[in-house]
Structure 1
Amino acid sequence: MPEISTETITETTDSRPASRIAGSPRILIIDDEVAIRESLETMLALEGFTVVLATEGTSGMEQLAKNQFDLLLLDLALPGESGMDLLPRIVEMYPTLPVIMITAFGTMGNVVEAIRAGAENFVQKPWDNEKLLADIRTAIARHRAEEEVIQLKRTLKQRYNFENIVGKSEPMLKLFDLIAQVAPSRSTILIQGESGTGKELIAKAIHSNSPRRERPFVPVNTGAVPSELLESTLFGHVKGAFTSAISAKKGLFEVANGGTLFLDEIGTMTMDMQAKILRVLQDRRFMHLGGTQEIQVDVRIIAATNVNLQDAVRAGRFREDLFYRLNVITLELPSLRSRREDIPLLATHFLKLYAAENGMEERSLSPEALRVLMEYEWPGNVRELENAMERGVVLSTDKTIHPELLPAQLTGNTYTANILEQQPNASLFDLMEEIERRIIADRLERCQWNQTEAAEYFRIPLSTLNQKIKRLNVEIKKRNRE
């Protein structure tokens, strides 16, 4: 018979230890019935859990104060304070600890009251061992993911001052070290990575860890600003510089003076605009549009692109001299599919974020939903994962998110199958148009309605994409910024 790993209550003066992520999950059982305690202890120990036992509320609370647990099994009917009396205190003192209530007298009223008070689940005696074990594993997985996110953020905050960047994979740890190394310098930085990898977050982290942290961080998505307006946006203009210039206006270079200007999607700039950016990088001087007086600024430039600028240089779409000016220090952001071990952490982070934003209880992923996330290729990277978690939170009616709440592309549902069901009498031509319409709309949504980015993904000219959008009546929504 396998050795059973259990612990009994002992007096100790040790302070509460730090959260334990690795190792055997620890479960505290508070139940006054000997048979129930022994039955749960044996079952859980055989499954590899470390079990601690308490017979009533006072000793159970002492154990919670002394030790770190991954889950609490709490009996509803205890001598002295009942489990329902203890639950609000436990939730308040240990908000991330999942609690599963156990009772022989379960009623719908008890279930609702316990869930509202913060219980993870409610189990009635006699229970189904397999279901109980599944519930326990799901709750512990969520708890450990939450604890790991908290510890990771605390570590990154102490070491670097990084906000909202989550990752423990080797590529991300190397990136964190590199950011910390280059942030204090004045050097221009080029951030390269696929769409949705979080380039603006990295740029903010660099600024926050630099001597310029008290000065402005000014982001501008150059691909989202029409080319005829970009010069005025960056350099400002004098009154009367063009028809609608009824007053003078500062440009973003002036707004960012002393701080950092983040030029996102710099690969979309026209050659003429690239020449003007190059001059500012060289001389730290520029003129307002329509002006005659030079203005000197002290701005650190961080540029970002999701295209290969060296290929663009070879194709004649990007100035070679500007590329070398930008390419002083290059940071390569890994795709999400290349750091899959970060997916549970990121998912937990986003679930917590959007539950709070929507005034809802925290959500967790079912094991099946997590498996879907781990197996998906994530062409939209972290942004796509964030959108999927927001959708899951908003559509969920309980605390667990199952695969059916995930976007169709994650679970393998195809456009074709859905369209054939919805339009069984449509002609082949109509079906093909509908598929094309949905593919374009889906890609635009993943790109946050940036048509330039979508055209690059489809490897077609922007004008061709615009023609298709008009012909197919694709609805264009207002683009959200990262």
Structure 2
Amino acid sequence: MPREQRLVGLVEDDPVMGESLIQRLTLDGIGVKWWQDGETAVKEIESSRFDAIVCDIRLPDMNGEQFFTEATRSGNAAPFMFITGQGDIDQAVRLMRAGARDYVTKPFDMDRFLTRLAEIFRPQQSSIVSEALGYSQPAKDLAHLIERLAPLPSTVLLTGETGSGKEVAARFLHATSPRSEQPFIAVNCAAIPSELMESELFGHEKGAFTGAAQRHVGYAERSGAGILFLDEIGDMRLELQAKLLRLLEERKFNRVGGEAALPFSGRLIAATNQNLFELVQKGRFREDLYYRINVVTIDVPSLRARRDDIPWLMNKFLNEFSATASRDIRRFSALAEQSALHYPWPGNVRELRNRVERAVALGLDEWIMPGDLFPATERSASRENLESLEDVRQDAERRHILRVLQTANGEIGTASKILGIGRTTLWEKMRRLGLSTDDPGMTQ
């Protein structure tokens, strides 16, 4: 599978310099997102995963140091290269001390500039891994972050809406970690009665309480050197939170009714759809446990935030359920796909999976139609969510341009010929639709 195209963020207010850099970088197969002022760049710089940021040290609304401070507040900031004149070298040196990777002085040789830019690019990761959770940029960013965390022993807290795929993310972390051959034990803290939770989590000895006829090995012990995944951890009662804190701090626990402490060698991953900080303030969650499990927080995006994954997920679930279906199912109709793309998905990926399962089970034709996914009563109730004709047109145009970019491997010239428009017109459409050439593979 080909490597993903590099993406550079360019902050340059000089239109001549900006166009010149874009032209040369594009010829070298590098995608470019161009801003002409610092404020706009700061607002948008977290929306894409850049391999490097190239920035003029003098901008119309701020200087290089101000921009660098604002733009690197994100924990995933790309390496920076500054363009400076002779009079701003002192500022460039200060930026290097602050964490910028390099600077070039005007006028500069373009070949030398490209060589130095290549030296600061962040390491490129496999597209096989990046597509494991989806093709959209949010899904790829999530996969990249999990891949970076997988080799570490740190506790991870997954946050996100119900049904967004937090357990899927946890299982992906397990699969890409050195613990992949060890157990993955998933526990839903909201599904187990509170009076049974301690025994289920830590186990119990024979005779520990009425009905304890034999020793029971709990989830913590069963996880061994693997991963213990505690879903909906915000629903765990306070007294049990204290014992979980001991498990994390002392790496040991006791079975209910047991005297000998047992070692815990696994890695804890917790998940919640609640705001744990608010629960701490309300006295419903221990503050010390909150900071202990909140070592690294990963927010799993909702399906609304990664609509480009919807067709991919639909086909994935269709393949899963059609294997056991009693009829021949070809695929989703174009109308069904468009209906899914414009539906708000309040239940996220879980709702999508359930709707596909129902469509496969109850549909009467070999093609899945909109009515199979969304019965008439639900379509009537959701009319207020319908988009305008202009919104639908722009969405269709955006998706078609992305498909053509994928076919053209991100080459603007080739894509413009396929579309039958000029390169400049294509660039303008891409800017208007918020597109770049960094990830043409985000659609199928």
Task: State the TM-score, normalizing by the size of structure 2.
Answer: 0.56
Q: Which structure is larger by alpha-carbon Rg, 1 or 2?
A: 1
Question: Is 1:255 the equivalent of 2:222?
Answer: yes
Mapped partners of 1:351, 1:224: distance in 2: 28
Q: 1:166 to 1:282 in 2, by over 3 A?
A: closer
Instruction: Note the 1:239-278 alignment, pairs <5 A.
Output: 239-278=206-245
Pair 1:280 & 2:247 matched: yes
Q: Return the match for 2:271 from 304, 309, 322.
A: 304
**1:213 maps to which residue?**
180
Aligned AA (1:263): L
Tell me, what secondary structure is at the counterpart of 1:316?
A: coil
1:358-402 deviations in whole A, cap 9, x for unaligned? 254343222222222111111100000011111111112222111
The verdict on how the C-alpha distance between 1:217 and 1:390 changes in structure 2, with shifts beyond 3 A counting, is: same
Give me the whole-angstrom Cα distance separating, in 2, the residues matched to 1:316 and 1:193. Answer: 22
- Are the equivalent residues in 2 in contact too, given 1:168–1:341 (CA < 8 A)? yes
Alignment RMSD, CA only? 2.0
Residue identity in the other structure for 1:234: L
Deviations 1:282-334 (A, max 9, x none): 00111110111111120100000011111111111111111111111111000
**8 A contact 1:267–1:307 mirrored in 2:** yes
Aligned to 1:295: 262
Q: Which amino acid aligns with 2:309?
A: D
Q: Check the 8 A contact 1:266/1:305 in 2, yes or no.
A: yes
**Contact 1:352 1:363 (8 Å CA) reproduced:** no
Counterpart for residue 380 of structure 1? 347
Q: Gapped runs of 5+ residues in structure 1?
A: 1-17, 20-154, 416-482
Distance 1:180 1:166, change over 3 A: closer
Q: Give the Cα separation in 2 of the matches to 1:410 and 1:348.
A: 25
Judge conservation of contact 2:329–2:365 (CA < 8 Å) in 1: no
Structure 2 equivalent of residue 203 of structure 1: 170
Deviation at 1:413, TM superposition (A): 3.1
**Residues 442-457 of structure 1 mapped to structure 2, 5 A cutoff:** none
- Counterpart contact for 2:333–2:367, Cα < 8 Å: yes
AA aligned to 1:269 is M
Contact kept, 8 Å, 2:129 with 2:144, in 1: the verdict is: no
Percent identity of equivalent pairs? 46
Match of 2:323, SS state, is helix
Query: What secondary structure is seen at the aligned counterpart in 2 of 1:310?
Result: helix
Query: Match for residue 190 of structure 1?
Result: 157
User: Using a 3 Å threshold, how does the CA distance of structure 1 residues 391 and 313 change in structure 2: closer, same or farther?
Assistant: same
With over 3 angstroms needed to count, the CA separation of the structure-2 counterparts of 1:410 and 1:338, relative to structure 1, is farther
Q: Is the CA contact 1:376–1:410 (under 8 Å) kept in the aligned structure 2?
A: no
Report matched runs for 1:77-88 at 5 Å: none
Unpaired runs of 5+ residues, structure 2, are: 3-125, 383-444
Question: Is 1:372–1:410's contact at 8 Å kept on the other side of the alignment?
Answer: no
1:50-74 per-position Cα deviation (integer Å, ceiling 9, x unaligned): xxxxxxxxxxxxxxxxxxxxxxxxx
In 1, Cα distance between equivalents of 2:377 and 2:286: 39
In structure 2, the CA distance between the partners of 1:166 and 1:348, relative to structure 1 (3 Å rule), is farther
Residue 342 of structure 1 aligns to a residue whose secondary structure is helix
Cα pair 1:408 1:414 within 8 Å, conserved? no
CA distance in 2, matches of 1:300, 1:287: 17
Q: Which amino acid counterpart does residue 375 of structure 1 have in structure 2? A: H
Give how far 1:159 is off. Answer: 3.6
Separation of aligned partners in 2, 1:188 and 1:357: 38
Cα distance in 2 for partners of 1:410, 1:388 equals 14
- Counterpart secondary structure, 1:331: strand
Question: Post-superposition shift, 1:342?
Answer: 1.1
* 2:316 aligns with one of 338, 349, 353: 349
Aligned 8 A contact 2:129 2:143 in 1 = no
Letter in 2 for 1:186: P
* 2:365 matched residue in structure 1: 398
**Could you tell me which amino acid in structure 2 is paired with residue 217 of structure 1?**
F
Counterparts of 1:288 and 1:206 in 2: how far apart (Å)?
28
CA contact (8 A) 2:201 2:219 kept: yes
Give the corresponding residue for 1:365.
Answer: 332
| SS, match of residue 357 in structure 1 | coil
- Aligned letter for 1:266? I
Asked if 1:180 is matched to 2:125, the reply is: no
Which deviates the most, 342-351 or 360-369? 360-369
Distance change >3 Å, CA 414–CA 301, structure 1 → 2: same
Given residue 288 of structure 1, which amino acid in structure 2 is its aligned partner? R
Between the aligned partners of 1:252 and 1:262, the Cα distance in structure 2 is: 9
SS in 2 for 1:358: coil
Say how many residue pairs are matched: 259
CA contact (8 A) 1:171 1:339 kept: yes
The 3-state SS of whatever aligns with 1:338 is helix
Residue number in structure 1 paired with 2:189: 222
Q: Distance in 2 between matches of 1:210 and 1:359?
A: 38
Q: Distance in 2 between matches of 1:365 and 1:324?
A: 46
**How many Å separate the matches in 2 of 1:159 and 1:371?**
28
C-alpha distance in structure 2 between counterparts of 1:187 and 1:231, whole Å = 23
With over 3 angstroms needed to count, the CA separation of the structure-2 counterparts of 1:410 and 1:313, relative to structure 1, is farther
SS at match of 2:182: coil
**Using the alignment, how far apart are the partners of 2:185 and 2:331 within structure 1?**
35
Structure 1 length as normaliser, TM-score? Answer: 0.51
Q: Aligned AA for 1:223?
A: A
- Which secondary structure state, in structure 2, belongs to the residue aligned with residue 324 of structure 1? helix
Matches of 2:377 and 2:268 in 1, distance apart?
37
